[in-house]
Amino acid sequence: MKIGIPQSLLYAYYFPFWKTYFEELGHEVVVTPMTTKGIIDRGVKASVPEICVPIKIYLGHVITLLEEVDYIFVPRFVSIRKGQFFCPKFMGLPDMVRYTFKGIEEKLISPMIKTNSDNIGNTFSDYKFMEKMFGISSQKNIKALEKANEVWLRFREYSKKGYTITEAMKIVLDGYGESSFSTNSDSNSSVTIGLIGYVYNIYDSFISMDILNRLREMGVKVKTFEMLEEDSLEKELQRMNNKTMFWTFSDKLLAAGYSFYNNPEVDGLIHVTAFGCGPDSMLGKLLDMDTVEYNKPFMTVRVDEHTGENHLQTRIEAFIDMLKRRKMNMKRGA
C-alpha cells in the first residue's frame, strides 16, 4: 500500500517514527515535497479564512497527496503529557480533513495519540486498530512499533547533540555520517541565539524562510527547544508550576524560552510565529514582558504566506549586529 504523509505540522518531530513504522509493516511511504507556493494556494482555497497558516498549509499537503496514495496518515494528537493538551486544531485535525474533502474518509489513517511522554510509540493501544485495518498480527504490529521507537529515539539524540531536525533525519534515515554536518558545537561563533518556534514553522523553509540556516550562515550559534534535554524543559515547567499554558508544544517553547533566558551562553531570543496563532500570542507576550527582567533582547518574527525575504534578512541582521555590539560593550564594561 502507498501511505501518504504530509510534510507539515508534526512531520518534523515524528517522521522518523512514522516512516519506520509503516515500512516495517511493508508499506511504501510517500511524502509530499517541501511546502511550495502551489501547496499553500491549494490549502488556502480549502480552508476557512481565519484559520492559522500552518493548518492551511497542512490542508494543501493533504490535497497534494489525495490522488497519489491509498491512504493518508492524519494522526489526532490529543495529549503527550499529563494535564496538557494540543492546540484544539490538532485535536480536531482528522475531522477537519474528513469533512473538508469529500470521499477522503476511507483513505484516512488517524490514530488518536494520547500518551504521557513525547515518546508516542510507547502506548501500543493507540495503534491497535491498524491490525484490523491492514490484517496484521499484534506481534508484527508491536515489532514494527518497537523498531520505529528505536529509530525515533536515535533521531532525538541527534537533535540534542545540536543537529537540526533536517540533519538528524538525514543521519538516521538516509545514512549520512555525523561529520557531514557541522553542528553548533564546533562553530566558534560570536553570538548564540535561542530560536523559539514550532517545528512546523522553523523547519518549513517556506514559512520561516529558513531562518535557522540563515542565522548559521551569519556565524550565529542556534539553539532550539528540541535540542534541549527533556529534563531541563521539565524543570522549567515545574518552576512555573501552575503557570503553564496547557498546550504541550507551547509549553515546551515557553520552557525553552526561560531556559534560554537563564542560560548565560545565550545572547538573545528570536520568536518565530505564524500569523493567526492563538497560543503564540500568549507565549510571545509572556516572554516579551520578561525581556527586561532577564536583560536579554527578544525579537518576534511574524510570518505569513506573503512575508518578504529581504525584509526578514534585514531585520535579523540588525538584531544580530545589535547583539554583537552589546556583547562587546559588556565585555569592555567588565
How far apart CA 198 and CA 8 sit, in angstroms, is 11
Residue 271 β-bridge partners: 196, 300
How far apart CA 98 and CA 100 sit, in angstroms, is 6
Residue 41: CB partners within 8 Å, gap ≥ 6?
A: 60
Minimum separation from the CB atom of position 79 to another protein (A) = 8
Q: Which cell numbers hold the place of 318?
A: 540588525
Q: Which one of 7, 8, 32, 47 is in contact with another protein (CB under 8 A)?
A: 47
> Which candidate, 211, 206, 219, 131, places its Cα nearest to that of 164?
211
Q: Which one of 260, 284, 299, 323 is in contact with another protein (CB under 8 A)?
A: 284
Minimum separation from the CB atom of position 304 to another protein (A) = 12
E strands, the chain, in order: 2-5, 28-31, 71-73, 76-79, 108-109, 112-114, 191-196, 220-224, 268-274, 298-303
* β-strands 71-73, 2-5 pairing: parallel
Q: Which one of 235, 285, 311, 325 is in contact with another protein (CB under 8 A)?
A: 285
Measured from the CB atom, the residue of 247 and 319 that comes closer to another protein is 247
Q: Which cell numbers hold the place of 300?
A: 518576534
Minimum separation from the CB atom of position 292 to another protein (A) = 10
Angle at 156 between CA 238 and CA 11, to 5 degrees: 100
Minimum separation from the CB atom of position 56 to another protein (A) = 11
CB 286 within 8 A of CB 315: no
Measured from the CB atom, the residue of 289 and 318 that comes closer to another protein is 289
> Which candidate, 88, 80, 11, places its Cα nearest to that of 252?
80
How far apart CA 109 and CA 129 sit, in angstroms, is 10
Minimum separation from the CB atom of position 96 to another protein (A) = 4
Minimum separation from the CB atom of position 93 to another protein (A) = 8
Measured from the CB atom, the residue of 118 and 167 that comes closer to another protein is 118
E strand or H helix at 133, and its extent?
helix 129-134
Minimum separation from the CB atom of position 61 to another protein (A) = 16
Measured from the CB atom, the residue of 10 and 87 that comes closer to another protein is 87
Q: Is 294 in the site for another protein (CB under 8 A)?
A: no
Interface positions, 60-119, toward another protein (CB under 8 A): 76, 78, 85-89, 91-92, 95-96, 99-100, 112
Measured from the CB atom, the residue of 85 and 294 that comes closer to another protein is 85
Q: How many residues sit in the footprint of another protein (CB under 8 A)?
A: 34
Interface positions, 220-279, toward another protein (CB under 8 A): 242-243, 245-247, 276-279
- Mask of contacts with another protein, 177-216, x by CB under 8 A? ----------------------------------------
**Which residues are near another protein by CB under 8 A?**
47-48, 50-51, 76, 78, 85-89, 91-92, 95-96, 99-100, 112, 242-243, 245-247, 276-282, 284-286, 289
